[in-house]
């Protein structure tokens, strides 16, 4: 019975962490699916979210979850602008070029944050940080539950946008076939900017709900989350947006279970090993039906 | 005449689509085999199956009496096949001469010898004056000739030409016809896909007609062009 | 002008440098190491066209092999170097055999994962590597009476290393192997039509690239004489190596070296202004290069020269 409880507890923790990974991975996968860009700056977008919550908290004493309301629209604009400057000139360049361009962007973001905020780790303390909720035998942390709720809202919003709205349909058409979308009158360049803006929004949301839970440093946290995002999207299938949700949850669970039952010091390795195995054996991802080799 | 290529019961599938169905053919040295058929008939796919670029679902390919069905494309090339691509594929960042050097290095590791061989190939196809030009800058007719020069530089026993005449103007076309005839009189076996019927009639001794992946007719150019099933296939193919 | 003229001049300047500017030895060693690492990276990334973002794994392998063989096994440094290169080639072979089926970005992603896994092993397998605290190289045998801890000796070793790497690249640049790699990079199907086995060529390139990088890793290990897995295996080093080559010009003989000169000097210049944020310059330069001169500095120059030469030949 006790063993069962710890397993359930671990699963619950894994899913809650995995939800954040899913949020990050969905954005990366959306960007790849529509733009064919592997965004090396994605983890740094998450860090931008973290530091924006910090700045808003310090300047306006606003609760991090309320700062979403300010940070998300600004992040969307930032995404649009970055896409216009850096990626839209490369729309017909080889895949390699956009990968390198986002790598350059990542270095610029990391080092700019480093110049502004310094290298010390930062976190944001909220008064309810240690509050927990008991659900039968298992205990869940309040901020993780809030995070889960935010993720649900954001992902359902994205789902409704992509399936119900005209713009969302245009996004999906562009993802399927850019040339075809052009032919039926869709401005695919505008769609690219829109999608990059959305990717930024999702990453920033993830950063904001994470910052009460961990310490962030500009040049380290970014690459860590970029790697996690790659793992998540490869598990789910690069470009498969809904697969990324599964990939994120799976990574969270694998990390927590691996850490408690195999070895905690290899926590970060489990995802990487899974990532390599999936790349080699099932490059279309665990949840994809169609083989889309790029 | 020695048999250079023999293919039996070739079947290629892409998922549910049978792109080539049970096609057999043989080619001797010095012979030109013409392969015709409407768009999408499976001609390029058959080429790919013979040269190793498309997976064989069934069938057997032998080159100089040796079974090569399981060999990768590069290994078949090393045993004596040479091929062009219907949509030309030059090494864009290399000059014309360097493009031909690449296959020439198959015959020697010595740069000077390889270069001599590359020049020979370029002279044969009439591109020697363009040798130092970046290949990305060539026009269509010259890109075709570059494809040919590359295929020749491996010193093949059998040459697969996929629509090397398409889009050429009349003088260039005439030159190319003379050139291909010259190659075959030197003893090279040639399989050529061509849409221009006049070229096929002029060059090929033997013609195979494909439609929807099947061999629907075979014979001399005259026999084939007067065959009602062939005419039917072309007319049927042209109104969809 | 022979094809080795440039290298001879480079060697001559390199030999004289410590006499002229003895105060800058450490900077010069860093520069030479980055020039050679970037050149070695370029064998795979530029010539054969497979971008790796995991080359720190080879640096780490070379450095750790010499450190461990000195401190644990009392093995002579030259044996350690050979073993390190052998291990690197073996790793490249295994890694490439598994991943060269993957196209483009998938290969690049896999290189990051492999290097990260090696880093985690270096951190966690304390019995072997000393773990996260790192490992000191406190004594080394003296081959031919050379004190390997002497900066000047290290400088000349680094110079010899750079010359060897560039000599190797000049050796194949205009020959069969050079053209095989370029053909594979441009178009694998077309390379096959020229009788080239792309997988084999890529594996050879990867093994040469990995072994040469590990050789520099060994020199780096001695130069630092203290290895920390966080520094030596970490993604930023892989990124620096790759970007140095790309900014300088992929698939050119001198591009990676020129990239190293540019980047090491500017990082040094900006060190006072930007402190730890010295990778900012890499980010800015790679963006400029990708957006405005995708072939890199030397690549763009060579491209122009070829065009101009052809244009002139048609006029006369
Ligand atoms: N790699 C592939 N995957 C799926 N289907 C393919 C593939 N290659 C060819 N096909 C299909 O196989 C059929 C035969 O194509 P193929 O290119 O061989 O025709 P073709 O006779 O060469 O036509 P054309 O005269 O237009 O060159 C076509 O229906 C084509 O769409
Ligand atoms: Mg065809």
Residue C106 to residue C267: CA distance in whole angstroms: 31
| Helices A64-82, A142-164: inter-axial angle, 10-degree rounding | 40
Atom of ligand 1 nearest to the CA of B41: 21
| Cα–ligand 1 centroid distance for B211 (angstroms) | 11
Q: Which single residue is written with the structure tokens 């008939």?
A: B41
Predicted confidence at residue B240, as pLDDT, reads: 41
Q: Is the Cβ pair A97, C290 closer than 8 Å?
A: yes
pLDDT in tens, chain B (240 residues): 678 999 999 999 998 899 999 999 999 999 999 999 999 999 999 999 999 999 999 999 999 999 999 999 999 999 999 999 999 999 999 999 999 999 999 999 999 999 999 999 999 888 999 999 999 999 888 999 999 999 999 999 999 999 988 888 888 888 889 999 999 999 999 999 998 888 898 999 999 999 999 999 899 988 888 888 888 877 664 444
Rounded Cα gap, residues A80 and A200, in angstroms = 9
- Residue boundaries of the structural domains of chain C: 3-315
Is CATH 1.10.10 the classification given to domain A3-281? Answer: no
Closest approach of C10 to chain A, Cα-based (Å): 30
A285 or A144, which is more confident: A144
**Topology adopted by domain C3-315:** ABC transporter involved in vitamin B12 uptake, BtuC (1.10.3470)
Q: Are C78 and C143 in contact (CB under 8 A)?
A: yes
Kindly state whether C309 is in contact with chain B, defined as any CB-CB distance less than 8 angstroms. Answer: yes
At C207-234, the pLDDT tens digits run: 999 999 999 999 999 998 888 887 788 8
Mean pLDDT computed over C82-111: 89
Q: What is the pLDDT of residue B235?
A: 67
Ligand 1 atom closest to residue B210's alpha carbon, by position in its atom list: 21
Model pLDDT for residues A133-178, shown as the tens digit of each residue: 888 888 888 888 888 888 899 899 999 999 999 999 999 999 988 8
Which DSSP string corresponds to B112-153?
Answer: HHHHHHHHHHHHHHT-GGGTTSBGGG--HHHHHHHHHHHHHH
Quick one: pLDDT at residue A294?
30
Alpha-carbon gap, residue C272 to C163, rounded angstroms? 31
ipTM: 0.91
Neighbours of chain A (3+ CB pairs under 8 A): C
Residue A179, pLDDT > 60, answer yes
Question: Ligand 2 center to residue B40 CA distance, Å?
Answer: 7
Residues 6+ apart with CB under 8 A from B165: B144, B173, B176, B177, B194, B196, B199
Q: Which of C301, C207, C203, C292 is nearest to C250 (CA)?
A: C301
**A205 near A23, Cβ under 8 Å?**
yes
Backbone angles phi, psi at B194, to 5 degrees: -150, 140
B59 DSSP assignment: E
- pTM here is 0.92
pLDDT at B236: 64
* Res A79: pLDDT: 96
First vs last C-alpha separation in chain A:
47
Residue A290: pLDDT over 60: no
Write out pLDDT tens, residues C43-52.
999 999 999 9
Best residue for ligand 1 mutational test, from B10, B18, B19 (most atoms within 8 Å of Cβ) = B19
Q: Check pLDDT > 50 for residue C255.
A: yes
């Amino acid at each position: 019975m006790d063993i069962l409880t710890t397993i359930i507890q671990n699963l619950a923790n894994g899913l809650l962490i995995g939800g954040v990974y899913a949020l990050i991975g969905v954005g990366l996968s959306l960007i790849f699916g529509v733009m064919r860009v592997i965004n090396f700056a994605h983890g740094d977008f998450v860090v931008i979210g973290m530091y924006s919550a910090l700045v808003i908290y310090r300047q306006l004493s606003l609760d991090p979850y309320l700062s979403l309301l300010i940070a998300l629209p600004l992040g969307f604009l930032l995404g649009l602008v970055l896409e216009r400057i850096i990626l839209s000139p490369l729309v017909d360049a080889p895949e390699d070029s956009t990968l390198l361009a986002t790598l350059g962007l990542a270095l610029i973001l990391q080092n700019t944050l480093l110049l502004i905020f310094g290298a010390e780790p930062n976190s944001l303390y909220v008064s309810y940080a240690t509050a927990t909720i008991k659900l039968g035998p298992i205990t869940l942390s309040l901020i993780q539950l809030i995070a889960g709720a935010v993720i649900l809202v954001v992902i359902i919003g994205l789902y409704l946008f992509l399936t119900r709205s005209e713009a969302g349909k245009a996004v999906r058409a562009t993802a399927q076939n850019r040339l075809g979308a052009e032919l039926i009158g869709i401005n695919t360049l505008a769609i690219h900017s829109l999608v990059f803006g959305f990717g930024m929004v999702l990453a920033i949301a993830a950063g904001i709900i994470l910052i009460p839970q961990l310490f962030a440093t500009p040049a380290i946290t970014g690459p860590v989350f970029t790697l996690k995002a790659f793992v998540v999207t490869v598990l789910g299938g690069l470009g498969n947006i809904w697969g990324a949700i599964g990939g994120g949850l799976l990574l969270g669970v694998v990390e927590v279970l691996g850490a408690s039952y195999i070895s905690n010091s290899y926590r970060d390795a489990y995802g990487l090993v899974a990532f390599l195995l999936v790349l080699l054996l099932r490059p279309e991802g665990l949840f994809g039906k169609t083989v889309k080799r790029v | 005449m020695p048999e250079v290529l023999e293919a039996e019961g070739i079947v290629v599938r892409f998922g549910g689509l049978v792109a080539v169905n049970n096609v057999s053919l043989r080619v001797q040295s010095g012979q030109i085999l013409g392969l015709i058929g409407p768009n999408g008939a499976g001609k390029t796919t058959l080429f790919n199956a013979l040269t190793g670029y498309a997976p064989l679902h069934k069938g057997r390919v032998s080159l100089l009496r040796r079974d090569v069905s399981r060999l990768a494309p590069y290994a078949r090339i090393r045993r004596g096949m040479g091929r062009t691509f219907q949509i030309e594929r030059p090494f864009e960042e290399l000059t014309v001469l360097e493009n031909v050097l690449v296959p020439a290095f198959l015959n020697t590791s010595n740069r000077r010898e390889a270069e001599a061989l590359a020049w020979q190939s370029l002279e044969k196809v009439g591109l020697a004056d363009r040798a130092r030009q970046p290949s990305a800058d060539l026009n269509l007719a010259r890109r075709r000739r570059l494809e040919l020069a590359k295929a020749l530089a491996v010193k093949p026993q059998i040459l697969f030409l996929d629509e090397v005449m398409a889009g050429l103007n009349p003088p260039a076309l005439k030159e190319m016809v003379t050139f291909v005839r010259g190659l075959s009189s030197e003893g090279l076996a040639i399989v050529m896909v061509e849409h221009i019927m006049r070229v096929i009639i002029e060059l090929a001794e033997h013609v195979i007609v494909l439609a929807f992946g099947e061999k629907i007719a075979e014979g001399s150019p005259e026999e084939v062009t007067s065959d009602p099933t062939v005419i039917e296939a072309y007319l049927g193919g042209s109104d969809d | 002008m022979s094809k080795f003229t440039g290298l001879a001049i480079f060697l001559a300047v390199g030999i004289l440098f410590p006499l002229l500017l003895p105060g800058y030895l450490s900077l010069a060693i860093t520069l030479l190491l980055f020039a050679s690492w970037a050149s070695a990276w370029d064998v795979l990334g530029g010539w054969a066209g497979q971008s790796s973002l995991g080359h720190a794994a080879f640096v780490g392998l070379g450095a750790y092999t010499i450190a461990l063989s000195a401190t644990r096994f009392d093995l002579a440094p030259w044996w350690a170097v050979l073993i390190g290169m052998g291990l690197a080639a073996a790793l490249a072979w295994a890694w490439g055999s598994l991943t060269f089926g993957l196209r483009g970005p998938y290969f690049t992603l896999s290189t990051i994962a492999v290097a990260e896994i090696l880093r985690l092993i270096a951190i966690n397998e304390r019995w072997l590597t000393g773990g996260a605290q790192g490992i000191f190289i406190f004594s080394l045998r003296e081959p031919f009476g050379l004190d390997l801890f002497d900066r000047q000796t290290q400088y000349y070793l680094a110079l010899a290393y750079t010359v060897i790497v560039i000599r190797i690249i000049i050796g194949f640049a205009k020959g069969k192997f050079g053209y095989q790699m370029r053909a594979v990079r441009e178009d694998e199907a077309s390379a096959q039509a020229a009788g080239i086995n792309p997988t084999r060529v890529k594996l050879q390139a990867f093994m040469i690239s990995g072994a040469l990088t590990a050789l520099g890793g060994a020199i780096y290990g001695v130069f630092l004489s203290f290895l920390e897995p966080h520094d030596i295996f970490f993604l930023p080093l892989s990124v620096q190596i790759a970007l140095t080559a790309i900014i300088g010009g992929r698939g050119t003989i001198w591009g990676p070296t020129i990239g190293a000169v540019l980047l090491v000097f500017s990082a040094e210049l900006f060190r006072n202004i930007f402190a730890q944020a010295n990778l900012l310059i890499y980010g800015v330069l790679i963006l400029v290069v990708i957006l405005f001169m995708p072939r890199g500095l030397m690549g763009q120059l060579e491209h122009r020269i070829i065009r101009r030469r052809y244009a002139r030949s048609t006029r006369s």
